[in-house]
Chains A and B, each alone.
Chain A
Amino acid sequence: MSLAQIREHARGRLERLGNAVTSHVWRLGFASRFLFYTMLHSGTALRRFRLTVAEIYFAGVLSLIIIMVSGLFVGMVLALQGYDTLQRFGASESLGVLVALSLVRELGPVVAGLLFASRAGSAITAEIGLMKATEQISAMEMMAVDPIARVVAPRFWGGVISMPLLAALFSALGIFGGYLVGVQLIGVDAGAFWSQMQAAVDLRNDILNGVIKSVVFGVAVTWIAVFEGYDAVPTAEGVSRATTRTVVTSSLAILALDFVLTALMFTGGKSA
């Protein structure tokens, strides 16, 4: 290849890279406007609360099984692994602290968020995408009903309300699972388990921060889910790609936001 050809090749690659970046930035702006519009037109979703309640059912209640079972198992594994390491330093009585802090601060919001994204987020995207593909959204527009107020907003608020509750359930069941394995199975002292936990877990710094995290994750995941569904190409392939994008983007967003929030909350932000 001559030098000129190499240069052309490189320029083509750079151009495509630049286009990809700008198109992603543009898409983010478009998605932000969409979110703003959704929240502005949430009147229907809140006045006719029945709609939102139905969505809380589809997003929250139907995720209960997977969240609760996963929480239980994660807690049990934490206790097993944690005990193995702690007893080497003679600190096995701190098992309760380890399980509780890990769950409440990190694993509860993050893992519940990831599970929520893949179960409820993908379902929301597929549903909205299919409504778009079968012209139900157009039909609604033609009947002078704002589809964003009627279809998108209830799903958005349903997800945002469900997420913190699911994360709390995850953490609670995880701690219970840790108790089952730590105290009942391994034999750590029950009194030490709970009392050390209560002394170490702070309501404001740990539990509240965990709840804040789960709310932020809920907003992020549901926003991505409704946007990808509404923006999907109205074909079978388009909906399938949108669903995949929801799960991937939500998961990455959760992990990135987790880093930012943890840095803000648990290090620099507050002392003690």
Chain B
Amino acid sequence: MNRATIDLWVGIFVVIGIGALLFLALKVGNLATFSGGETYNVQGRFVNIGGLKVRAPIKSAGVVVGRVADIRFDNETYEALVSMNLDQHYQFPRDSTAKILTSGILGEQYIGLEAGGDGVMLKNGDRVRLTQSAVVLENLISQFLFNKAAEGKDEKK
């Protein structure tokens, strides 16, 4: 096994190894949507973010238009402060609504952005006024039980 052959095979090995890494990065992972380009930042306050996580998608009409950048707790208003990075290409009116939705019944939570009708668009640093918090299962159940109990009392009357 002379040197030239060894060098050749090692070269081939390294090339296909790096090729495999690139394949994984581009075709398998979400590199394509990773660095989507320029983004602008808007904030939103939610009473309850449920299971929303950082880097969760922000979708409008079902299309991914941005990602959740940061989630923090506001100690003065006792609400969650969500920082969102929206793709520069998409502009939304100032009175758009941000809702926390679930994909499927038990899936991951994401932010759904519904466009409003205002002529002025959201700029970098603006706040989305209209928000809707996540549906918390426990609250739903206790609400249901409360309603059931109220119904029962009405009937007795």
Contacts and interface: CB of A to CB of B under 8 A. Distances in A.
The answer to whether A binds B is yes
Interface of A: 50, 53-54, 56-57, 60-61, 64, 100, 104, 162, 164-166, 168-169, 171-173, 175, 194, 197-199, 201-203, 206-207, 211, 271-272
Contacts of B34: 203
Nearest to A108: B24
A61 B24 contact: no
B10 A56 contact: yes
Given A172-B23, A203-B34, A60 B29 contact: no
Contacts of A169: 16-17, 20
Interface string B51-72: 0011110000000000000000
B11 to A, nearest CB: 9
Among the interface residues A57, A60, A203, which one has the most CB atoms of the partner chain B within 10 A? A203
A168 B16 CA distance: 9
B60 to A, nearest CB: 17
A94 B6 CA distance: 42
Given A53-B6, A168-B20, A64 B28 contact: no
A202 B108 CA distance: 15
Interface in B10-55: 10, 12-14, 16-21, 23-25, 27-34, 53-55
A4 B32 CA distance: 75
Contacts of B17: 60, 164-166, 168-169
A56 B23 CA distance: 22
A272 B29 contact: no
B90 interface: no
Interface string B132-143: 000000000000
B56 A203 contact: no
A166 B12 CA distance: 13
Nearest to B30: A198
Nearest to B16: A169
A199 B29 CA distance: 7
Contacts of A60: 10, 13, 17
A168 B31 CA distance: 16
B153 interface: no
Nearest to A55: B10
Nearest to B11: A53
A208 to B, nearest CB: 9
Nearest to A68: B16
Given A57-B9, A61-B9, A171-B20, A165 B14 contact: yes
A202 B29 contact: yes
Contacts of A171: 20, 24
Given A104-B24, A166-B17, 20 more contacts: A54-B6, A57-B9, A57-B13, A60-B13, A60-B17, A64-B13, A165-B14, A165-B21, A168-B24, A169-B16, A172-B19, A172-B20, A172-B24, A175-B24, A201-B29, A202-B29, A203-B30, A207-B24, A207-B25, A272-B53
A197 B12 CA distance: 28
A194 B25 contact: no
B27 A56 contact: no
Contact of A199 (B27, B30, B56): B30
Contacts of B25: 203, 207
Contact of B13 (A61, A173, A199, A201): A61
B3 interface: yes
Nearest to A169: B20
B154 to A, nearest CB: 40
Among the interface residues B17, B19, B55, which one has the most CB atoms of the partner chain A within 10 A? B17
A199 B25 CA distance: 12
A116 to B, nearest CB: 13
